Structure 1
Amino acid sequence: MTATASAHTVKNTTAETAKLRGNRRSSSHSKVQSISLALIIPVIIAVVWEVAGRAGWIADGLFPPLSVCVAAFVDWVSGIGLFTSDFTPSEAYSTTWLAHVGASVGRVLMGFVLGSVLAIVFGILAGISWHAKRMIDPTINAIRPISVTGWVPIALIIFGIGDQPAVFLTALATFFPVYVNTLSGVQRVDRGLIRAGRMLGAPQYKVVMSIVLPAASPNIITGLRVSLGIAWTTVVVAEILGAKSGVGYVLIDSYNQFRFDYVIAAMATLGICGIVTDKLLQWIFADALRWSDN
């Protein structure tokens, strides 16, 4: 009996081990397949871009091939000139990538924080108080449809050229999505929880901080993520129209100099910055989202 039981145990263990190995292989194969599928379209675009750029099929030959754009990006970042006969380094941009990215990040950060904090405060007030909503909401909804570009002349008149108009426009663009999502999140909070908190003697600020804000956090974080993308779009517009530094400035300046390779490098930089800051935002609020899911 003992020998039979031991043999049966060994057999089960072997089967489980084989099953685990099979699952690992399947998972590994699935990841490889997923990555391969995700690379198909980028590879096709890269090949077509390189061929079309070298053949001069786009914009009468003014549009550079991918290899030249990569060389421009590397030169902009590090000053290292990659071997390609079609690329000429620019002394105006070489090794200035970090300075320009830092200028843009600073403007985005200041505008994003300012706009988000104000939006969350006003959204919570409008969500928990009928009187506050009647006072705040109509004015915000009247201003919200106005495009950020429509505010550019006003920003330049009031703040002039420099960081201030960019920060103002970024804060303005950030405000509305965060406000709308915060208001929606607060209005969906279970009113029974709020009443229970008040019945237990919790003051209003405690109810807001311990019940309302955590319960509304998924909506608020969604608004923050949407606003962060809009903030990067807005800061580029502001830098194009009224700044002497930043990724947006490099984009328009290189365009005016017919350096379309650096234009593409600036666009790629904006995409990288947007992805990195979005992932950073998700990491910062990961605990809040886990709490909400539970």
Structure 2
Amino acid sequence: MSNHSAIETISTAEISPIKRASTLSANPELIYAAGAWAVSGVITLLWPNTQEFERTTDLAVLQWIFAALLLVVHVFRGQLAGLFRKLHYNAWRLVALAVLLSIWQVASAKLGLWPQPYFPPPQGVLDAYIKDYVRLADSIRASLILLFFGVGLGALAGFLTGLSTGWSPRVGYWTIPFLRLFGPVPATALIPIVLFVFPTSFSGGAFLVALATWFPVAVLTWSGVSSVDSSYYDVARTLGAKERFLLLKVAIPATLPHLFVGLFMALGGAISVLVVAEMLGVKAGLGFYLDWAQGWAAYGHLYGALIVMAVLFSGVTTLLFFVRDRVLVGQSGGVQW
């Protein structure tokens, strides 16, 4: 390479980050987002409420702090490049969130279009977080323990059921009719029986969550084992592989993509069963918290718990896909999140 070409390459490498930064700075979406949140804070504080609501000032201050943070990230985008890229990509979503928050604020607290206490303003939800964070944290802990215990038990049972069904025709002779007959029965239909039969509400709830997890994991694992190309087994047998090797090194690895699809499907059903079981019988968790809040007409607490559930269970699903991407390295496609 000539000296002229080397200098040109180095210059291009040095200039391209600056050029990229200037291109991003020419797009003021993050400034728009900061402005939207600042205006939303003004509406919260300066527009008079139809009645007294606690935490109105606190909410406005939090909105302005968030707007200031967005401006800081924009100004120091060179030093905070990773955070800036994420916020810049979601800038219009942040604008939409600020607009929706303002609509909620105006309709509930400013104009009184939404009847109280059934539709409290955003500061009502904030007040619930501040006053009842201990009970809410205990509910989150109880739900996560029950969810992970039940899903883990159900996933293990479903994997073993599906693996043995697809691998052994003798086992499949008995398990396939059972899967087809009892698998589609909703786990929630068994709540009255389970909570009566099991000694504790936790064990009954764990069984229901495990049951909701077991069926999709078993069916997808069974499908994965059955769909393995027979030529893989033939090649392995030609090289002297035994049945144990075929099962552990051929069948199970080829089944893993199907297993994670089954886990994704099972997780949604397990979360639904978890909440229903907590509302009807298990005396702990977010479902129990929702039932308690509704019984006491504490609708700020109820909406706060719903928001927590959305964030929490979305995070659990994201964790599942993070594990899948680490286990199935290099395999694209399938269910996306």
TM-score (norm 2): 0.73
Q: Which of 39, 44, 47 pairs up with 2:99?
A: 44
Aligned to 1:275: 314
Whole-Å separation in 2 of the counterparts to 1:264 and 1:275: 17
Matches of 2:325 and 2:278, distance apart in 1 = 32
SS at match of 1:243: coil
How much does 1:108 deviate? 0.9
For 1:84, the equivalent position in structure 2 comes to none
2:253 counterpart of 1:214: yes
Q: 3-state DSSP class of the match of 1:290?
A: coil
Q: TM-score by structure 1 length?
A: 0.83
Q: CA deviation at 1:27?
A: 7.2
State the distance in 2 between where 1:205 and 1:155 align. Answer: 38
Q: Which residue number corresponds to residue 19 of structure 2?
A: 22
Query: Deviation of residue 169 (structure 1)?
Result: 0.8
Map of 1:65 onto structure 2: 121
Preserved contact between residue 117 and residue 299 of structure 2 (Cα < 8 Å): no
What SS does the corresponding residue of 1:271 show, helix, strand or coil? helix
The 1:43–1:127 alpha-carbon spacing in structure 2 relative to 1, beyond 3 Å, is farther
Partner SS for 1:96 = helix
Unaligned stretches of 5+ in structure 2? 28-84, 333-337
Superposition pairs of residues 234-253 of structure 1, within 5 angstroms? 234-253=273-292
Structure 1 segments of 4+ aligned residues over 4 angstroms from their partners: 23-33
- Paired AA for residue 151 in structure 1: L
Percent identity among equivalent residues?
25
1:116–1:224 CA contact under 8 A, matched in 2? yes
Q: Flag the 1:187–1:23 CA change in 2: closer, same or farther, 3 A.
A: farther
Deviation string 1:97-147 (CA, Å, 9 cap, x unpaired) is 232222111111111011101111111122223343332122112113322
1:13 aligns with 2:10: yes
Aligned 8 A contact 1:56 1:62 in 2: no
Aligned counterparts of 1:125 and 1:60: Cα–Cα separation in 2: 56
Question: Offset at 1:262?
Answer: 0.9
1:23, distance to aligned residue in structure 2 (A): 4.5
User: What do the CA deviations read for 1:214-240 (whole angstroms, capped 9, x no partner)?
Assistant: 111112112212222322221110011
Worse-superposed segment, 124-133 or 227-236 = 124-133
Shift of residue 196 of structure 1? 2.4
Aligned to 1:112: 151
**Contact 2:164–2:171 (8 Å) recurs in 1:** yes
Q: 1:138 aligns with which of 177, 188, 195?
A: 177
> Could you tell which deviates more after superposition, 114-123 or 68-77?
68-77
| Counterparts of 1:273 and 1:145, CA distance in 2 | 27
The residue number in structure 2 matching 1:92 is: none
Question: Aligned match of 2:131 in 75, 84, 96?
Answer: 75
User: 2:163 corresponds to which letter in structure 1?
Assistant: I
